[in-house]
A and B are shown apart, each in its own frame.
Chain A
Amino acid sequence: MRRFSIGRYVLPVYSILALVFLLIPIVYTIVFSFNASTRSNTVWEGFTLNHWVNVCSRQDVCEALNNSIIIGLVSTLFATILGTALAIALVRYSFKARSVVSLSLFLPMATPEVVMGAGLAGLFFNIGFAPGMATTIIAHVMFCLSFVVVTVKARVQTLDPTLEEAGADLYANPRQVFRKITLPLLMPGIVSAALLSFALSFDDFIITYFNSGAVTTFPKYIYVAASRGVPAEANVIASAVFILAIVIVLATQIRGALKRAKFAKFK
């Protein structure tokens, strides 16, 4: 007796519906980047490539984007260096108070952005440090740090310590082992961490809002523009970022799959 199990289809159908649901705003945003709107981008007025071609015709949008990129790159640089060092220490070295360190690195991830934003703003205010680029970058490094540690830590844990022993056995001193063996093997994790850090920094709103003073970042620009209408150029930039991100992620997945296929051939 054949049993037609409807249960088999419930899960996939449901999941596909869920995914469609997740993607609706994305489609909306991308579609409306082509909207021939003038001021407010709420009603569809016709298709145009104008906004894509002349993205920076509204200077404020591009200035905000520029700031976001600079802040993102600088914070990523510092967060990645500090975070990688911490991750290596946590996995490979034994030291007292390791649970305290783990906990203190976890807390920023568990802290709501309002709390961190207000706290940092308060700190800067108390020491007389005026909010601006520097304070924004400091704040961004802070909240990206824990995420970098988590990502790199996962990679360090996959690293076979015997490889470093082999390096020492083959006459490499500790510094050479780090440069020629540890770092190259950690690189994929460090790159992921850097990408994650940049993404978090780029999209951050609340903490930035409290600590940036007069500097406008891309999300801040959108928030301020929300009440009167976000211009289509913002949609263009967001769509471009989205497409770039998807391309990067898909490219890494495909590259990984090709590599695995190549190795499998020789087995």
Chain B
Amino acid sequence: MAFAAFSNDKPAKDSSAQRKTGPIVLALLLPGLIYLALFFITPLISLVITPLQSPDPSGAIGIYINDVNFANYATVAIDYLPQIMRSFGYAFSATVFALLISYPVAYLIGVKLRSRPLLQRLMLTLVIAPFFISFLLRTIAWKQLLSDDSGFVNLLHTIGVLAPDQFFLGTDAAVIFGLTYNFIPFMTLPLFANLERLDVRLIEAGSDLYANPRHIFTKITLPLSMPGIISGTLLTFIPIAGDYVNASRDFLGSSKTSMIGTMVEADYLQNLNYPSASAMSVLLMGVILALVTLYVRRSGTEDLL
């Protein structure tokens, strides 16, 4: 998908035409697939089954017995509804903002800068540069820059956007800000990969056929960049929905901005409530699988990777 953006070459002509067969296929596939089965499929299955367990009769914390108890799923869906709604709300907002910010940049680099490949590569490098600094430190940097006594907050106080006793950190806005920032490269790269292959002659043709710039964008560019938008949206929305660092109290959030991930971490590592944590994870995964299925139905599996 997006990672082909970094390849300098174009695909060879029709390599799908002559695919070979032979026993070597197994040798190539099996190690990786077995690894996948052991360390991805099995954990997922385990996640689905664990919530069916019941607390040990002895009452000891962290001990559970095998059971078929659907109570956990129900409890989690009800008790943690605020977190669920908040997570998807944040994810949706951050994705939209990331799209709005990334699209023009991706367009500039992918379309307008095609004649200057060196500049194009340089700008692309700058876009993914944030990747190279630990994501935690990036978030901490914003935490400091937007802290209660920072210039930014003072400005907001001065112009009256915030009341004197209100601050930025700990609000929904701060968390969404952090999420948007951290995941912009995830949106920009797929958009770029798509826009880079945009045939400019189609835009010229539109112009030749009397379309004004607005129409050209809405009727030609936008529909053609849809695959990039969709894959960028997926690549952004999904990890954001599961993130909990940005929303954490130690970073940009507060106890009022907890997300699904926060609850999973708390339940799993602190409360040792494995069934509950697994149930939340399964719920999250379920929504995401639904989204991915919609995508696959539309575009098929060949282009996924």
Chain A residues at the B interface, C-beta cutoff of 8 Å: 7, 11-12, 14-15, 18-19, 21-26, 28-29, 32, 42, 81-83, 85-86, 88-95, 99, 101-116, 118-123, 125-126, 138-139, 141-142, 145-147, 149-151, 153-155, 157-161, 174, 189, 192, 196, 199, 203, 205-206, 209-210, 218-219, 222-223, 226-227, 230, 234-235, 238-239, 241-242, 245-246, 249-250, 253, 256-257
The listed residue (B15, B19, B108, B302) touching A11 by CB distance below 8 A is: B108
Q: B268 to A112, Cβ gap below 8 A?
A: no
B60 contacts A by Cβ under 8 Å = no
Q: B20 to A141, Cβ gap below 8 A?
A: no
B70 contacts A by Cβ under 8 Å = no
The listed residue (B8, B43, B122) touching A116 by CB distance below 8 A is: B43
Report how many residues on chain B are interfacial, defined by Cβ distance under 8 Å. 102
A-B contact sample (20 more), CB < 8 A, given A29-B138, A123-B46, A256-B8? A21-B101, A22-B184, A23-B129, A93-B19, A93-B25, A93-B28, A94-B21, A103-B296, A103-B301, A112-B261, A121-B268, A122-B278, A147-B3, A150-B4, A157-B12, A206-B245, A210-B269, A222-B134, A223-B250, A238-B133
Q: B129 to A22, Cβ gap below 8 A?
A: yes
Q: B104 to A14, Cβ gap below 8 A?
A: yes
B215 CB, nearest partner CB in chain A, Å: 14
Nearest to B131 among chain A residues (CB) is A199
Task: Give residues of chain B (23-49) contacting chain A, Cβ–Cβ below 8 Å.
Answer: 24-25, 27-29, 31-33, 35-36, 39-44, 46-47
The listed residue (B1, B9, B21, B239) touching A95 by CB distance below 8 A is: B21
- Bound together, the chains give a CA A228 to CA B11 distance in angstroms of 51
- Bound together, the chains give a CA A196 to CA B209 distance in angstroms of 44
Q: B104 to A15, Cβ gap below 8 A?
A: yes
| 13 residue pairs bridging A and B, Cβ less than 8 Å apart | A15-B108, A83-B32, A85-B27, A93-B22, A104-B33, A107-B40, A116-B40, A119-B40, A157-B11, A160-B15, A192-B6, A206-B243, A230-B140
- Bound together, the chains give a CA A7 to CA B217 distance in angstroms of 14
Contacts of A24 in B (CB 8 A): 141, 145
- Bound together, the chains give a CA A154 to CA B1 distance in angstroms of 9
Q: B133 to A29, Cβ gap below 8 A?
A: yes
Contacts of B4 in A (CB 8 A): 150, 154
5 tightest CB-CB pairs across the interface, nearest first?
Answer: A112-B242, A119-B43, A25-B141, A94-B19, A89-B28
The listed residue (B7, B27, B142, B305) touching A90 by CB distance below 8 A is: B305
Contacts of A113 in B (CB 8 A): 239, 242-243
Q: A114 to B244, Cβ gap below 8 A?
A: yes
